[in-house]
Every structure is written in structure tokens, then in C-alpha cells.
Amino acid sequence: MIDSAEDSLRNIARDCAQPNLPGNCANLVGNGELYGDCISTCVENRVEGLSSECAGCYGDAERCSHDSFCISRCRLNTCSTPCLECLNGADCILELEECSGIPDDTCDEP
């Protein structure tokens, strides 16, 4: 399911928070669990066949990004050095990998 998605699941989760896209979760930013749940539902709806549990991992990762003040660094490019440094410093990627059971290899190696 992940390989057949239109984009990386982290990018899809990020897009679910964009205020200019239909079905976005931007109005829930700052509402912790509700925000993460909204992102999870959005990811699940955008990736056919993805389980709720797996989508939840990406909702949690997006919430972690927001809670760790990484969101502005990741808004344009979830693979940028500033974004990855922030996410790794906050253990968001580690938590995503532990939750999903797969390595987050959505960014090309430098």
C-alpha cells in the first residue's frame, strides 16, 4: 500500500494539514489527539487499502512534528536537512518507525 501511494506517507500527512486542501485538519492544529486522529483519517482516506493502525502512525508523526515545532521546517520539504534534524531531534522518526514497524526511508540518501 505504501509503495503504491501517490507520494510518501509523511508528505501525505503533511498535506492533510494544509489549510487550502479539501478535508484538511488545519483547524485542529493545537488540539493534540484530535489533530493526530484527523491526520490519520485523512492519510487512510488518501491511501487505498492502508490500515487504520498504519495511518495512525503517520498521524502521530505529524502531531509529533507539530508538537516539536518542526512543522514550519517541514512544510515545503519533509526531506530537507532542517526538517529531518528537527524530526530526529524530537524522536518523531524513531517513533514512526517503532509504530509502523518499517524504516522511514522516504528520503534519498545524500
Concatenating the DSSP letter of every residue in the chain gives: -TTTSSS-HHHHHHHTT-TTSTT--GGGTT-THHHHHHHHHHHHHHSTT--HHHHHHHHHHHHHHHHTT-HHHHSS-TTSHHHHHHHHHTTHHHHHHHHHSS----S---
Q: What is the model's pLDDT at position 52?
A: 94
Q: What is the model's pLDDT at position 110?
A: 45
Q: What is the model's pLDDT at position 99?
A: 95
pLDDT tens digit string along 4-33? 677 888 889 988 988 877 778 888 877 778
Q: What is the model's pLDDT at position 7?
A: 86
pLDDT: which is higher, 78 or 20: 78
pLDDT: which is higher, 29 or 48: 48
Average pLDDT over residues 28-50: 88
Domain assignments of the chain as residue spans, ordered by start? 9-100
